[in-house]
A and B are shown apart, each in its own frame.
Chain A
Amino acid sequence: MNGFLYGAVLQWKLDLRSRTMLITCYAVPLAFFAIMGGVFTSIMPETTDTLIPAMTVFAVSMGALIGLPPSLAEIYRSDIKKAYQANGVPLSLGLAMTNISAFVHLLIMSAVLYLIAPLAFDAKIPDNPGVHFCGVIILIVVSLGISSIIGLAVKNMANTSMFSILIFIPSTMLSGIMFPADLLPKAFGLVGKLFPATWGYALMAENSLTGHNLLPLFAIFIIAVLLCIILLKRVEKR
């Protein structure tokens, strides 16, 4: 196993040991699913149609936006980055390994939700599971891009959680998973379109990989990648 692969697997294990990742990727999304799944489907039985996409968007947003930034801050705001430099390892490796690890955790959680939602709440299985999981993968990748910006940009480790929550709350509230996005005031609806959760939810709910949902996600991802490159260069200079 080469250094990169070993590092990625190790990071995955470290994330499992770290309570932050365990709570944000698994415990809270499952608890939310158990409570809100029951509430939604009993008040509005038609939500069973969109329960899997809605719960997946919540889990991905939570795990990515709240779970990943502390791992990145641990590397780039502490002496851990010196361990990379001292061993001639590019600083971008930390970003890559934490993202791969978070990606796998979020994919596992999304699969768990996909499997248990029909059993627990009689949720409708997406017509095309392949398209659904493509949507999940795209949403995870774009959401991790946004959370990487937070992890690399926030100067103080203690502030990381605050910024994560500031992005996470509007992201989920305005995405349409709680209530239809067209019921929101126009301004809120526009703000919601800045977050990948809105487009990811639309993509999964429609169960089709169409350009009008994919293009905004692609644009957000490109901006996130460019910002991450700039932020990494800033870390290297420091």
Chain B
Amino acid sequence: MTDALQVKGLRKSYGKKEVLKGIDLRVRKGDIFALLGVNGAGKTTMLECIEGLRKYDSGSISVNGSVGIQLQSASLPAYIKGMEAIRLFAKWNRVSADASMLAALGTDSLADKKYREMSTGQKRRLHLALALISNPDIVFLDEPTAGLDVEGRISLHAYIRTLKNLGKTILLASHDMVEVENLCDSIAILKDGLIAFTGTVEELTEKVGTHYNVRIKTSQETKDFEIDNIGSGLMAILKDYQKENTVIQDIQVDRGSLEQHFVKIAREDDR
């Protein structure tokens, strides 16, 4: 599969502080790709460099296709109405504007609503509509579901999957690990200006998920264990229960969530 995005040796400093220290990254065409990192890791700077919104010091960025960018809140005039923003962006991109873009995102009601009167979730939906107005090949989403309620989040996830099915590449920055785990084909973890991991969630689990989380429910209690070896470790726990003649009602085994793996990588050298 060809790459939608290729970044080589990307460097960016603010004064003496080097924020990006030589980023190498590839995003496959048609993937939903997440960029993860703790606050201050350089996610926004990196995204803005790729999006062309910020100049970088050295390196190269190759984007294979047209780009649509979902901007953050406060990036439209306070008194602009939803449909006016759609029309303005359509004019700028030399495409025809129609209300179906708002309808597709379930935001028809925003057509006559002023930007300052919109909720955070409504603003995000409008910004997504604006990002998609030119039917881009690659869509950049920054915290797409932040501030959305559960219903809004579910419908936006469904819409993002629809975009993927249409063949679009989606690159998103998010703090929501559940969202990333459910939505994304591959991820990159940015740490101290470098890519600490890139691959699929499963590959991350293989790399850092060395422990198994075991939850055993009996009639008296529910207990959590952390073991290194699924065979001998689980067997030892079960033998202890057998000795006590305790009846086990349920056993759950997992290798940890993306959130746990992310925290592990993010804190690896901080200890």
Residues on A lying within 8 angstroms of B by beta carbon are: 1-3, 6-7, 10, 13-14, 17-18, 74-75, 78-80, 82-83, 85-89, 237
Q: A82-B71, A237-B55 are in contact. Are A74 and B88 (CB under 8 A)?
A: no
Choose among A6, A13, A87 the residue with the greatest number of B CB atoms under 10 Å from its CB: A87
Q: B91 contacts which of A7, A13, A18, A88 (Cβ < 8 Å)?
A: A7
Q: A10-B80, A85-B53 are in contact. Are A79 and B91 (CB under 8 A)?
A: no
Q: Tell me the dominant secondary structure on chain A's binding face.
A: helix
B71 touches A79 (CB 8 A): yes
Q: B88 contacts which of A6, A78, A79 (Cβ < 8 Å)?
A: A6
A74 touches B93 (CB 8 A): no
A14 touches B55 (CB 8 A): no
Interface size on B, residues (CB 8 A): 25
> Across the interface, which residues of B come within 8 angstroms of A17, CB to CB?
79, 114
B71 touches A7 (CB 8 A): no
Tell me if B154 counts as interface (CB < 8 A to partner A). no
| Least CB separation from A83: chain B residue | B75
A83 touches B76 (CB 8 A): yes
Residues on B lying within 8 angstroms of A by beta carbon are: 51-53, 55, 69, 71-80, 84, 87-89, 91-94, 114, 130
B79 touches A88 (CB 8 A): no
**B83 to nearest A CB, angstroms?**
11
Closest 4 CB pairs of A and B: A79-B75, A3-B91, A17-B79, A86-B69
| Least CB separation from B51: chain A residue | A86
Given A3-B94, A10-B80, A82-B71, 5 other A-B residues pairs in contact with their CB atoms under 8 A:
A6-B91, A14-B77, A74-B78, A79-B72, A80-B74
Q: A6-B87, A10-B80, A17-B114 are in contact. Are A79 and B92 (CB under 8 A)?
A: no
Provide the bound-state CA to CA distance between A89 and B74, in Å.
Answer: 18
Provide the bound-state CA to CA distance between A85 and B91, in Å.
Answer: 15
A80 touches B75 (CB 8 A): yes
**A44 to nearest B CB, angstroms?**
42
19 contacting pairs across A/B (C-beta < 8 A): A1-B91, A2-B91, A3-B88, A3-B92, A3-B94, A6-B88, A10-B88, A17-B79, A79-B73, A80-B74, A82-B53, A82-B75, A83-B71, A83-B75, A83-B130, A86-B51, A86-B52, A87-B89, A87-B92
Q: A85-B52, A86-B71 are in contact. Are A14 and B88 (CB under 8 A)?
A: no
